[in-house]
Chains A and B, each alone.
Chain A
Amino acid sequence: MSNQKVNKLILDGAEAVSYDENTASEYLAEENVDIDKYIKKGLKDIQKSQSVSTSLTKSQTFFRRVVLAARIAHECHSEWTFGSVKFQKLVYLCEHVTHMNFSTNYSKQAAGPMDNKFIHSVKPEFEKQGWFNVQKVKTGKYEKVQFTPLEGVEGYKQYYSNYYHSVDSEIQHLIDTFRTWKTDDVELVATIYSCWNEINKEISIFSEDLVIKKVYAWHKKKEKFSEKEIRNSINWMKEQGIYPVK
Chain B
Amino acid sequence: MRILREILSYLAELPKLALFAVGVFIFLGALGPWIAPYDPNIQDLLSANQGPSGVHWFGTDHLGRDSLSRLIVSARTSVVGMVLVLFIALSVGVTIGTIAGYKRGWVEEILMRIVDVGLAMPSLIVALAVIGILGTGYWNMILAMALAWWPGSARISRAVAVNVMNRPHMESLRVLGANPFRIYFMHLLPSTLGAVLVYATADAGAVALSIATLSFLGLGIQPPTPEWGQMLVDALPLLEWSPRQVILPGLALTGAVVGFNLLGEAIALKRVPTLLSSSVLKQRRATALLWKRS
Instruction: Judge: A and B partners, yes or no.
Output: no
Interface set of B (CB-CB < 8 Å, partner A): none
